[in-house]
Structure 1
Amino acid sequence: MKKQMSMLIMIFLIFSNALFLLTGCQTNASVEKIESVGMLIEHTIHDQTWGNKGYRGLLDIQEEFNVDVYFREGVQTQQQVNIAVEEFANKGVQVIIGHSSTYGEYFNQIQDSYPDIFFIYVNGGYSAQNLISLNFNSLAMGFFAGMVAGEMTETNRVGIIAAYEWQPEVEGFYEGVLYQNSDAHIDIQFVNDWDEKDLAMQYYRAMLSNNTDVIYPAGDAFSVSIVENAMSDGIYSIGFVNDQQALGGQSVLTSTIQHIDKLYVYAIKELQQGDVKGGIYNFGFKEDVITMGPYSEHLKEYFKDQLDHVIEDYIENGLLPHEE
């Protein structure tokens, strides 16, 4: 009887110790310290717009968190993504940022093969346990750009040349123009590529010949060309992604700026602290990752005050003026 009791006690103690070790490991679990981050860029870091801004965000991550960083340019296909991700994995990279919406589908195809890597990309609908989409609420920035265009057109003809139909800023621009100026005609064209300069310039010339006098180039590389040409042709433009007054001077009425560099730093910080998991997250004016650029001297003070007031109300209640 004593032997049986001793055996039971021993088994209980062994089981208790094993349970303590198991629960102890769970209780003390924490997000592993991030020591290396990689970035994939569709085109180049020298484009003065989206690619360069992503690269600057990567450098900010390096400085802020004292981590190793790696990047690859010209990564545009699933095969190229697979090769780059495997290369990063062999280097011990723990977070891979795909600096484009196109990387959502590519990452979704391979994320389960790399459970120890967090994949981050922008503006998409794919997510998983280790796959994060950082989405800009860009309908509002398009609306405010539209208000500027509607206010400043003298011919009542404004234009937007966008990359893709799904861009929320296109709808926002249309609604913003008509909110400010119900008499305005809005020409909308798509080039189906973030960097399609030739087709974008064809649309620009056609709009110019139709007396369009305010234009919003909602794309990457081609926005630079259009802003520069608008200045030479004596019409107004609205900058996209970056403050583009350095390119177009005061002919750039303002810019809709996406601070993707700030957003990447924020995401790494949240990952480091264990405050963010795989999923889809939305950010905008309220989080200060979208802002309007400096106003041109051509904008009247009363309108600048009106626009600032509308933006402040939107930040406070989340409603655009035509939605209230």
Structure 2
Amino acid sequence: MRSLKKFSIVLLAILGISLLLYGCTGYDDNLQKVGMLVEHSVHDNAWSKEGYQGLRTINEELDTEVYYKEGIQTKQEVIEAVEEFANNGVNLVFGHSNTYGKYFVEIAPSYPEMHFVYFNGGEFGEDVTSLNFNSHAMGFFAGMVAGKMTDTDEVAVIGAFEWQPEIEGFYEGVKYQNPTANVHIRYVNSWNDTKKAMRLYEQMRDENADVFYPTGDLYSAQVLKEVSEDGLYGIGYVTDQSSIDEEQVLTSTVQHVSDLYVRITEKFNESKLRGGVLTFDFQDGVISMGEFSPDIPEDFQEKMNGAIESYEETDLLPNEQ
């Protein structure tokens, strides 16, 4: 069985966090301990790192023990991990992938003392909540930037899966800003297949694409590094990836996953979390655009900021107004 990872008092001491903050977890409300399941490693990619950071923040700010288990992919592995969580007093479980939805719905009735949370799915139950990012809008704004900054009128998406709303949003944003631009879309059919993503990048680069939006957890950074080396433009994904190249990375579509972890945990502790499908967007403060490249004209940066503010106020994208 894969080992259960726990942030203990010893770990807190190593991290330089005051032991006085740890103390007793004597909550008057619902929260006892928190667990998280990840399919691979918490250090694999930007998405996993954000979840891990969310768990650390819960540990530090909410003064509760947290656990995580890596490499949990099959139903049997989920069952064993949840049973281990239960034996350790965990009553709030995060599954850091849409894969966990169907498993959580099946096993939740056997753990009435637990609430289960996962991401980006439509399955739910009385004690199962799905958290969804409304990523269509962030894709739209990324598309506007790409449509503005392309010199060849050829832009490209290296998508993980066809169902990603940000891809459709990106297409619409490009066409809104630059109707003459062509949008090349190809799919890796994986969040993590960097080799295939790089092959697709090379193919579309050879087709004269000069702005790229890689929408996959593990391969996004690698594609952007290659974009930088080739003197082309890219748009970051999940986190602000401007540190790769502050000029060639035009902006990023940022999902503040760790903040959402804390918000949901607080909601559970206050007895306000219900089973269902919850959707979050710019208006909720958990999606934003990253830093703009200095290569983007200042007047267009102002236009983008105005469009985002208008969307936050009206729920209408520029092409809907």
TM-score (norm 1): 0.89
1:37 match: secondary structure: strand
Pair 1:221-2:190 in alignment: no
Match of 1:53 in 2: 50
**What letter matches 1:145 in structure 2?**
A
Match of 2:178 in 1: 181
Query: Which whole-Å deviations, capped at 9, do the CAs of 1:67-112 have from their partners, x for residues lacking one?
Result: 1000011112212211111111111110000011111112112111
Q: Which moved more, 1:100-109 or 1:63-72?
A: 100-109
Q: How far apart are the structure 1 equivalents of 2:292 and 2:53?
A: 24
**What letter matches 1:117 in structure 2?**
M
**What letter matches 1:38 in structure 2?**
G
Identity %: 48
Of 167, 171, 174, the residue aligned with 2:168 is 171
Matched ranges for 1:18-167 at <5 A:
32-167=29-164
Q: How far apart are the structure 2 equivalents of 1:52 and 1:204?
A: 24
Match of 1:207 in 2: 204
2:147 match: secondary structure: helix
Question: Which portions of structure 1, spanning 4 or more consecutive aligned residues, are displaced by more than 4 angstroms?
Answer: none
Q: CA 1:249/1:47 → structure 2, altered by over 3 Å: closer, same or farther?
A: farther
Q: Supply the RMSD in Å over aligned alpha carbons.
A: 1.2
1:249 match: secondary structure: coil
Q: How far apart are the structure 2 equivalents of 1:182 and 1:77?
A: 45
Match of 2:258 in 1: 261
Of 261, 282, 286, the residue aligned with 1:285 is 282
1:124 match: secondary structure: coil
Q: How far apart are the structure 2 equivalents of 1:94 and 1:31?
A: 14
Deviation at 1:47, TM superposition (A): 2.7
Q: CA 1:165/1:45 → structure 2, altered by over 3 Å: closer, same or farther?
A: same
Q: Which moved more, 1:148-157 or 1:44-53?
A: 44-53
2:285 match: secondary structure: coil
Query: Which whole-Å deviations, capped at 9, do the CAs of 1:170-190 have from their partners, x for residues lacking one?
Result: 100000000000010001111
**What letter matches 2:127 in structure 1?**
N
Which stretches in structure 2 are left out of the alignment for 5+ residues? Answer: 1-26
Match of 2:193 in 1: 196
Q: CA 1:97/1:31 → structure 2, altered by over 3 Å: closer, same or farther?
A: farther
**What letter matches 1:216 in structure 2?**
Y
Match of 2:9 in 1: none
Match of 2:231 in 1: 234
Write 1 or 2 for the structure with the bigger share of helix: 1
Larger Rg: 1
Pair 1:310-2:302 in alignment: no
Q: How far apart are the structure 1 equivalents of 2:291 and 2:186?
A: 26
Q: Do the aligned partners of 1:31 and 1:274 also contact (CA within 8 Å) in 2? A: no
1:176 match: secondary structure: helix
TM-score (norm 2): 0.90
2:90 match: secondary structure: coil
2:261 match: secondary structure: helix
Deviation at 1:63, TM superposition (A): 1.1
Query: Which whole-Å deviations, capped at 9, do the CAs of 1:167-225 have from their partners, x for residues lacking one?
Result: 10010000000000001000111111111111111100001111110000001001011
Match of 1:295 in 2: 292
Q: Do the aligned partners of 1:231 and 1:249 also contact (CA within 8 Å) in 2? A: no
Deviation at 1:132, TM superposition (A): 0.5
Q: How far apart are the structure 2 equivalents of 1:122 and 1:103?
A: 8
Deviation at 1:31, TM superposition (A): 8.0
Q: Which moved more, 1:269-278 or 1:134-143?
A: 269-278
Query: Which whole-Å deviations, capped at 9, do the CAs of 1:261-312 have from their partners, x for residues lacking one?
Result: 0011000111111122111111110011000001001000111011111101
Q: CA 1:116/1:158 → structure 2, altered by over 3 Å: closer, same or farther?
A: same
Q: Do the aligned partners of 1:49 and 1:242 also contact (CA within 8 Å) in 2? A: yes
Q: How far apart are the structure 1 equivalents of 2:232 and 2:76?
A: 43
Q: Do the aligned partners of 2:30 and 2:268 also contact (CA within 8 Å) in 1? A: no
2:283 match: secondary structure: coil
1:95 match: secondary structure: strand
